[in-house]
Chain A
Amino acid sequence: EIVLTQSPATLSLSPGERATLSCGASQSVSSSYLAWYQQKPGLAPRLLIYDASSRATGIPDRFSGSGSGTDFTLTISRLEPEDFAVYYCQQYGSSPRTFGQGTKLEIK
C-alpha cells in the first residue's frame, strides 16, 4: 500500500498570497496517477487536479499541480477567500487507492 504524507498539516496564509502544499509518497506513484481534492466543512470533496497536473472541469487556473515519482505539489497562485479549506492528495496508480491525511489551509 502506498502511504501519502502531506505537509504541512496546517498552513496559515493571507488572501492574495501563494500557497504551496506537498504530498510525498512512500513508493513511486505509477504514471503520475495523483489527484488533489478540496473539502470545505460539511461538504463533499471536490476534484481539483488529476494525473498530477491536469485541472478538472471548472477549476480556476490559479490552481496547479506538479510532480512525479514520490513528490507532488499543489500550488494556489493567489489565494482567494473561498480557497481556505482542507486539501487531500490521492494516488490511484496502485490498489488500494489511498489518500493523504490532509492539509488545512487557514486564514492568517
Chain B
Amino acid sequence: EVQLVESGGGLVQPGGSLRLSCAASRFTFSNYWMSWVRQAPGKGLEWVASIKQDGSEKHYVDSVKGRFTISRDNAKNSLYLQMNSLRAEDTAVYYCARGGWHFDLWGRGTLVTVSS
C-alpha cells in the first residue's frame, strides 16, 4: 500500500528542538516534491514547508523561516523537518504530504506539543 508514516512528535519545552521524520513506501519517493502541513488542535490546515525532488529548492511559510528546516534522503525514502526555537503556537499535528503545491497523499500525522 502506498503510504506515508510520520514519527518524532512529542512534548517539548518552549525554545526546544524536535526532528520529525516521514517514511514513504510503495511509490518512487525521489520523483515527487514533498511537504509538511500542520493542524493546530481544533483548527484548520496550515502549509509549513515544501522541498523539491532533489532537495535543491525549499519553500517555507514566513512564521517558520529561520527556525524550521525541511530536508530529504531519497536513498532512505524519507522526509524530515528539523524544528528549532519552538513556540507554543507551533503546537499541532504535523502531516507529511506528497506534492509541492496540492497534496495527493497524506500520512496520519504526528502530534507536537510545545509547553512548559
The interface residues of chain A lying within 8 Å CB-to-CB of B105 are: 47
Q: Is B44 an interface residue (CB 8 A)?
A: yes
For B, the interface residue count at a CB cutoff of 8 angstroms equals 18
Q: Is B107 an interface residue (CB 8 A)?
A: yes
* B9-61, CB < 8 A from A: 44-47, 50, 59, 61
* Option from B45, B61, B107 in Cβ contact (under 8 Å) with A96: B61
- A interface, by DSSP: helix, strand, loop or mixed? loop
Closest beta carbon of chain A to B108's beta carbon, Å: 6
Closest beta carbon of chain B to A54's beta carbon, Å: 10
| A residues adjacent to B (C-beta < 8 A) | 33, 35, 37, 39, 43-47, 50, 56-57, 88, 90, 92, 95-102
